[in-house]
């Protein structure tokens, strides 16, 4: 069960965020409303939400998932692979927020890079995607820190997606949403895999929060498959965040 969530209000410069898609620039006012609705959905799922102030020097800073990994034993400050985001991991208010909940804070150091959008937690085990943003040095540092605290991790090679959790979502109870390259990845054979069609691939990024599953708006087949598993679904519009490579998981730290 998750008790706490940390989010950050979108920057007024969100339209300058990094993107690999050609879907136009996000509209700040719409992003704000969508973010407020996201926080409301999390609250409905029964967690305490800490809301951090926007940081206008960092257009991508609403994607707090990438700058820290929150485990049952410690928080790990990452070192993002995107140069424009590396200072986000050092913002004092994020560290202050994490120290409210954790006695132990660990750090990924140079030359390692890790963005926690590449990390999927399954109980005490963590799958770490190697991507343009997460390198092998960063992944090995992360695994060493996890093992130091009695947890475990393993590396997953990526070839098609930006982040591991772009194409995977663990919904607890051994259910795993899979899209694209992950449908046949050998690491995930033991899961009950729910295959996501290519035309709804973005919908593979959902989040489980205390028996609720937040699902992005506009992906009815994904929604139906999750409802068929017996979960309570909350649909959240993330269209403005999609324009800068963001999804539901990117917008929060959940622990």
> What positions carry a catalytic annotation?
163, 250
Other Cβ atoms less than 10 A from the Cβ of 184: the count is: 10
Residue 192: strand pairing partners: 175
Spatial contact of 251 and 206, defined as CB atoms under 8 Å apart: no
Question: What gap in Å lies between CA 12 and CA 48, rounded to an integer?
Answer: 25
Q: Count of alpha carbons within 13 Å of 110, Cβ hemisphere only?
A: 3
In terms of phi and psi (left: phi > 0; alpha: psi -120 to 50; beta: otherwise), the region of 116 is alpha
Among candidates 185, 181, 179, 227, which has minimal Cα distance to 203? 179
Residue 254: strand pairing partners: 5
């Amino acid at each position: 069960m998750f008790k706490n969530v940390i989010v950050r209000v979108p920057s007024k410069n969100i339209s300058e965020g990094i993107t690999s898609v050609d879907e136009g620039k996000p509209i700040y006012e719409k992003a704000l409303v969508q973010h407020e609705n996201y926080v409301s959905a999390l609250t409905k799922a029964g967690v305490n939400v800490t809301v951090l102030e926007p940081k206008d020097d960092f257009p991508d800073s609403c994607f707090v998932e990438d700058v820290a990994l929150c485990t049952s034993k410690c928080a790990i400050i990452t070192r993002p692979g995107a140069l424009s985001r590396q200072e986000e991991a050092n913002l004092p208010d994020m560290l202050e927020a994490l120290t409210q909940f954790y006695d132990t804070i660990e750090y990924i150091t140079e030359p390692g890079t890790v963005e926690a959008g590449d990390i999927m937690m399954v109980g005490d085990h963590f799958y770490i995607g190697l991507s343009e943003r997460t390198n092998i040095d960063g992944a090995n540092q992360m695994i060493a820190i996890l093992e130091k605290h009695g947890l475990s991790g393993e590396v997953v090679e990526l070839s098609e997606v930006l982040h591991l959790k772009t194409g995977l979502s663990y919904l607890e109870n051994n259910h795993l949403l899979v899209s694209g390259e992950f449908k046949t990845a050998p690491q995930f054979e033991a899961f009950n895999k729910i295959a996501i069609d290519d035309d709804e691939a973005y919908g593979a990024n959902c989040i489980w929060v205390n028996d609720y599953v937040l699902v992005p708006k506009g992906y009815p087949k994904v929604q139906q498959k999750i409802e068929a598993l017996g979960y309570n679904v909350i649909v959240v519009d993330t269209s403005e965040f999609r324009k800068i490579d963001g999804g539901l998981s990117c917008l929060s730290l959940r622990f």
